[in-house]
């Protein structure tokens, strides 16, 4: 039976209404970043140029996380999708030989980034004012695509991620970040309050919400986040956080649906320690409970355990590239080359050495007697494999028990993000 002309007209009209609503929201998003470029620009780029400050998990200093099976290179092609005001200058400062393309819908944000790069002679950068969905029109492909804080603002994040995947080289990697649902509970409560008050970024909402945050009751859910420790928030942060016209958050399984919907695979989490039960009290309290769970289910359990993750940060690849878990299991770990994380911190507590990665959202610690743990850490030189290090520390004794203990230690250090791993074929 042929469709009724009236029904067909109704469908067309409904689609037009939806498209109009999306276009209106797109315009509101562009207006927000026009009036309140975000994040606030870097006040001084010189510490990044000197290597005194490091962007968390950046591709130069954490090369092994992004390309564990590839030798380090400086002249790579990077796309920063939704570049804002600071990522391109930071990356250009740390990787001056890289070719970097920054894309954003905000001309003001691009102007800030371009000016800062020009000020410091960082001339291997180009910028384009366009939506993420139009990146394919550039006709370029990339080794690394950095897309943090953007996908969750799109009409169709899966479609946006597919666009990024279409410009990713076969052995490239996408570094992505989306909002996490549970840790941002206080944010969404205040977004709902702003909506009920009729506030938005165009009618004085940022100023009023900024003042409102200063007067929140003690123990408001917002106070459990880092923002709660800084009640005098920058106006740009208030506008982006509490008055954004389009904002969706993800659970771990929401991230899985996003990744798989785009035809990609999870290479690894950035800050994987917070997603790994083995380096948390959960493993000791519930031994064996997650033994048969896959990586996604283990991560979902840890998200609930921590309760305060505000973002999910992760690396994605095409299905043809092996994941980190595939590279470093079994004999792959014996031959792997450990590299100390650039964010590794340590503390001596009596006779105990406590290690952690200071870039994690929540602290995760690995500890042991100084005289036992320190020789292993000192032997990690970024050149020697786990097997060679074990031979050195054990002074030539490589029996099965010694090797088993060494593998357990390095697996734990890796799970806790104290070290990074690369394959033996990826020596620099």
> Which residues, at least 6 apart from 354, have a Cβ–Cβ distance to it below 8 Å?
346, 347, 348, 365, 366, 367
Helix (H) or strand (E) holding 189: helix 185-196
pLDDT of the residue at 226 = 66
Longest alpha-carbon distance in the chain: 84
pLDDT of the residue at 33 = 87
Domains and their CATH numbers in the chain: 46-181+249-323 (3.40.50.150), 328-426 (3.90.930.60)
Residues 234/228, Cβ–Cβ less than 8 Å: no
If you write DSSP's letter for every residue of 309-378 in order, what string do you get? Answer: --EEEEEEE-TTSPPHHHHTSTHHHHH-EEEE-TTEEEEEETTEEEEEETTSSS--EEEEEHHHHHHHHH
Residue appearing with tokens 């470093």: 328
Say how far apart CA 84 and CA 41 lie, in whole Å.
Answer: 9
Tell me the per-residue pLDDT of 93-102, one tens digit each, with 9 for 90 and over. 999 999 999 9
Phi, psi for 367 (deg, rounded to 5): -140, 160
Q: Cis link prior to 20 (omega < 30° from 0)?
A: no
pTM summary value: 0.92
Distance from chain centroid for Cα 36? 23
Tell me the per-residue pLDDT of 361-393, one tens digit each, with 9 for 90 and over. 999 999 999 999 999 999 999 999 999 999 999
Residue appearing with tokens 């450990």: 338
pLDDT of the residue at 24 = 84
Phi, psi for 125 (deg, rounded to 5): -125, 145
pLDDT of the residue at 217 = 87
Residues 214/232, Cβ–Cβ less than 8 Å: yes
pLDDT of the residue at 2 = 58
Pairing of strands 311-317, 168-179: antiparallel
User: For the chain, which ranges sit under pLDDT 50?
Assistant: 14, 17-18
User: Between vectors from CA 173 to CA 169 and to CA 176, what angle results, nearest 5°?
Assistant: 130
Helix (H) or strand (E) holding 47: helix 46-49
């Amino acid at each position: 039976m042929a469709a009724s002309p009236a029904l067909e007209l109704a469908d067309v009209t409904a689609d037009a209404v939806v498209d109009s609503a999306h276009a209106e929201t797109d315009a509101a998003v562009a207006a927000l970043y026009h009036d309140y470029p975000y994040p606030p620009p870097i006040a001084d780029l010189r510490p990044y140029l000197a290597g005194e400050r490091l962007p968390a998990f950046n591709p130069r200093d954490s090369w092994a996380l992004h390309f564990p099976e590839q030798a380090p290179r400086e002249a790579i092609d990077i796309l920063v999708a939704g570049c804002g005001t600071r990522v391109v200058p930071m990356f250009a400062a740390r990787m001056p030989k890289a070719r970097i393309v920054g894309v954003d819908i905000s001309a003001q944000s691009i102007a800030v980034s371009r000016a800062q790069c020009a000020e410091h002679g960082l001339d291997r950068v180009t910028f384009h004012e366009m939506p993420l969905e139009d990146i394919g029109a550039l006709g370029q492909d990339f080794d690394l695509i950095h897309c943090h804080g953007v996908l969750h603002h799109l009409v169709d994040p899966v479609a946006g991620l597919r666009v990024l995947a279409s410009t990713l080289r076969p052995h490239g990697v996408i570094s992505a970040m989306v909002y996490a649902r549970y840790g941002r509970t206080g944010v969404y409560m205040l977004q709902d309050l702003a909506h009920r008050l009729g506030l938005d970024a165009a009618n004085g909402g940022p100023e009023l919400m900024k003042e409102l945050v200063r007067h929140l009751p003690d123990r408001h859910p917002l106070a459990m986040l880092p923002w709660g420790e800084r009640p005098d928030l920058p106006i740009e942060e208030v506008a982006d956080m509490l008055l954004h016209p389009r904002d969706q958050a993800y659970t771990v399984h929401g991230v899985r649906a996003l990744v798989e919907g785009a035809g990609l695979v999870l290479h690894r989490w950035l800050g994987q320690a917070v997603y790994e039960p083995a380096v948390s009290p959960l493993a000791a309290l519930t031994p064996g409970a997650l033994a048969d769970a896959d990586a996604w289910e283990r991560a979902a359990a840890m998200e609930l355990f921590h309760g305060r993750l505000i973002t999910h940060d992760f690396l994605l690849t095409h299905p043809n590239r092996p994941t980190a878990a595939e590279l470093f299991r079994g004999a792959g770990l014996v031959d792997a080359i450990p590299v100390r994380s650039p964010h590794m911190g340590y503390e001596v507590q009596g006779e105990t050495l406590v290690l952690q990665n200071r870039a994690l959202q929540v602290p995760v610690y690995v500890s042991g007697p100084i005289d036992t743990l320190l020789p292993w850490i000192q032997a990690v030189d970024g050149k020697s494999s786990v097997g060679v290090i074990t031979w050195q520390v054990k002074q030539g004794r490589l029996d099965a028990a010694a090797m088993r203990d060494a593998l357990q230690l390095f697996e734990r250090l890796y799970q806790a993000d104290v070290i990074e791993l690369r394959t033996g074929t990826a020596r620099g």
